Amino acid sequence: MRYRTAAPDGAPRAPLAADTAVVFRGSETKALPFARVWTTAALDFRTGAQTSAADLKIRVGAGTLEVQALRLRRGMAGPFDSQLTFFLKQLARFDFGVSSSLNQPVAHLLAQGVGPSLLLTVPIFIGELALALTLALLCAYFRDRWLDRMLVVTAVALMSINYLVWIVAGQYVLGYRWGWFPVWGFASWRHLLLPVLVGVVSGGGADLRFYRAIMLDEMYKDYVRTACAKGVSGSGVLFRHVLRNALVPVTTNVVVALPFLYTGSLLLESFFGIPGLGYLGVNAINSADVDVVRALVLIGAVLFVIANLATDLCYAWLDPRVKLE
């Protein structure tokens, strides 16, 4: 603490009670003499596990005490008395703290939000994967024809339109003007139809281009020409040969996307009023709720690492040429 003291105008400077400021806690006291210059003092106050407002007091006699700067430092009782140790103990108990904005345990909020998030993201994930793989196989089969070119143009157009445009256009046209879908809430399964449709359409373009490039790369390899020369049907070439050999990059893209199913969709949940983890994360950021944001980031990072490890293990199962060592 950096401080200076001054006696009151006209007061004598001899008496100690009028010329000192006393800092005390319980039976511990420390007298700070009056001075005209700034003085730095280190005060050591030890409290128990249960503290109160009466633990630390500063009493000034007849003079005044002016504090220029005050820095609090937490003492460490041992090498394991640290914030990291305390945080690891919390994680071991699955205790992520308490939300400062909602005043509820973060673990309880995560348990409440994971259901709505999965109900939204899992159908989007399955729909994108099925649609993109089907169209990519069609592009590979009808390569360099009008259907292939039309699908490529469609994929580029879907990728070029901003995500927010799909959300606003879907809510206004399909929900408000035509009345096909509700645009807000989570009362029934009908409230999920429009956000799932928007998610599949907006994300299908990038997946289609990615899977099309993989399928076309396989279509020009020697084993495909050999299979065609042996009289294998077109569907047999696509599903028994091309798709099977393209599973390694497809699996990489699929497994890496799995952790993001947990964290939900920030924009979709916010615009459609779905009380999932994405909606919770946006509100936590706006209200500076550190415990909630930290829990979401931590769990997402752990799931991402596990998904990458699972991807490497799947390579050996999908491709006999890959060996685990």
Ordered by where they begin, the domains of the chain are 2-69 (no CATH), 106-318 (1.10.3720.10)
Spatial distance between the Cα atoms of 100 and 289, rounded to a whole number of angstroms: 6
Secondary structure of residue 233 in the 3-state scheme:
coil
Selection from 244, 249, 254 nearest residue 223 by Cα = 244
Nearest to 283 by CA among 118, 138, 135, 100: 100
Give strand ranges (E) for 53-108: 57-60, 64-69
Spatial separation of the C-alpha atoms in residues 299 and 116, rounded to whole Å: 17
- The widest CA-to-CA distance across the chain, in whole angstroms, is 114
| Helix spans in the chain (H) | 83-92, 106-141, 146-160, 163-169, 190-219, 222-229, 234-236, 243-245, 247-257, 259-263, 266-272, 277-286, 290-318
Q: Quick check: pTM over 0.85?
A: no
Burial class (CB in 10 A: 0-12, 13-18, 19+), 180: middle
At residue 17, the pLDDT reads 44
Say if residues 120 and 274 touch (Cβ distance below 8 Å).
yes
Whole-number mean pLDDT of the chain? 79
Q: Which residues contact 144 (CB under 8 A, 6 or more apart)?
A: none
- pLDDT computed for residue 145 by the predictor: 86
Coil/strand/helix, residue 62: coil
Q: Which residues of the chain have pLDDT under 50?
A: 9-19, 24
- Is the Cβ–Cβ distance between 196 and 127 less than 8 Å? yes
The owner of tokens 């998904």 is 307
Note the pLDDT of residue 15. 41
Torsion sign (Cα): 82, 87, 88, 92: positive
Q: What's the pLDDT score for residue 90?
A: 82
What per-residue confidence (pLDDT) applies to 10? 47
User: 29, 32, 42, 16: which is closest to 65 by C-alpha?
Assistant: 32
Amino acid at 193: L
Counting other chains too, the contacts that 209-214 makes at CB distance below 8 Å and 24 or more residues apart are 209/152, 209/155, 209/156, 209/159, 210/132, 210/253, 211/132, 211/133, 211/135, 211/136, 211/246, 211/250, 212/135, 212/136, 212/139, 212/140, 212/151, 212/152, 212/155, 214/136, 214/246, 214/249, 214/250
pLDDT score at 123: 92
Mind listing the pLDDT tens digit for each residue in 208-250? 888 888 888 888 788 888 888 877 777 777 777 788 778 888 8
**Helices 277-286 + 290-318 axis angle, to 10:** 140
